[in-house]
Chains A and B, each alone.
Chain A
Amino acid sequence: LAKTTQPISMDSYEGQEVNITCSHNNIATNDYITWYQQFPSQGPRFIIQGYKTKVTNEVASLFIPADRKSSTLSLPRVSLSDTAVYYCLVGDVNSGYALNFGKGTSLLVTP
C-alpha cells in the first residue's frame, strides 16, 4: 500500500481557498487517490476521488500532477463548517481498496 504524508494541521480564515497537499511517492499504477472529511465523533465522509489531472465536484477540486506522486485537495472559500480532519487515501479500488487512513490534516477555519 502506498504510504501517504500530509501536514498535521492547517489554519485558515473564512472565505479563503485552502489547499491541502498529500505526498504518495510510491503510488502504484492501479491506485486511485481519494479524500475524506471527518467531523468529531462522526464517520468520515467521501469528498472526491481522482486518478490523474484534475477532478472537480460541487465541494472541492483535486489536482494530481503527471507523476502522480502527490495530490492537492482544494477547498474554495472555506467556511467555519469546513473545520474538520481531512484524509488522503491511496489504493487500488479493485483489490480491496485503500485501507489505511493515517492521521489526516486537521483544518481549523476561523472568522
Chain B
Amino acid sequence: DSGVTQTPKHLITATGQRVTLRCSPRSGDLSVYWYQQSLDQGLQFLIQYYNGEERAKGNILERFSAQQFPDLHSELNLSSLELGDSALYFCASSVPRLGELFFGEGSRLTVL
C-alpha cells in the first residue's frame, strides 16, 4: 500500500460525457502528479501540482483539467470524452527532493 488513494477504481461512461477522478496523496506529501497509461503505452505525464499550485504541465489535452485543493487532494476532470481517452489514470505523490514517487492503484476509465 503506497498510501495514495484514487477513486473510483473503475469507471465506464459514454462519449461526450465528463468525469472526475480523485486522488488523495500520502500524508505530508505536497506534490501530486497525474499520468495517463493507454493500452501498450508508457506512462504519459499530464500535470503536476505542488501545494495547490500548478508546477508542471505535460501532454494534457485542453479537454482535461486538474486542481489541487487546500487539503492537498487533487481532482482530474476529463470532459467531452472520446474513445481514445480510455486508459488507466494514475496519481502519484511525493515529498520534493526525496526523489521517489508513490503511485496509487489507478482509475481505469472506459469510454464506450
**A50 to chain B: closest residue by CB:** B99
**B104 to chain A: closest residue by CB:** A43
Per the 8 Å Cβ criterion, residues 1-51 of B in contact with A are 2, 4, 31, 33, 35, 41-45, 48, 50
Q: How many residues of B contact A (CB 8 A)?
A: 31
Partner of A104, one of B42, B94, B98: B42
Q: A99-B33, A99-B58, A101-B43 are in contact. Are A94 and B105 (CB under 8 A)?
A: no
Task: Give the residues in chain B near A46, CB-CB below 8 Å.
Answer: 100-102
Interface contact tally, CB-CB below 8 A: 68
Per the 8 Å Cβ criterion, residues 82-108 of B in contact with A are 88, 90, 92, 94, 96-106, 108
A69 within 8 A of B: no
Task: Give the residues in chain A near B97, CB-CB below 8 Å.
Answer: 93-94
Partner of A100, one of B41, B58, B105: B58
- Bound form: Cα–Cα A58–B30 in Å: 28
Partner of A32, one of B99, B101, B103, B106: B99
- Bound form: Cα–Cα A99–B104 in Å: 16
- Bound form: Cα–Cα A23–B94 in Å: 25
Per the 8 Å Cβ criterion, residues 18-33 of A in contact with B are 32
**B42 to chain A: closest residue by CB:** A103
- Bound form: Cα–Cα A75–B42 in Å: 21
- Bound form: Cα–Cα A44–B43 in Å: 9
- Bound form: Cα–Cα A46–B26 in Å: 15
Q: Is the CB of A49 within 8 A of B100?
A: yes
Instruction: Report B's interface with A, CB cutoff 8 A.
Output: 2, 4, 31, 33, 35, 41-45, 48, 50, 55-56, 58, 88, 90, 92, 94, 96-106, 108
10 pairs of A and B residues whose beta carbons are closest in the complex: A43-B103, A101-B43, A103-B42, A93-B99, A99-B45, A46-B100, A96-B56, A102-B42, A43-B90, A49-B99
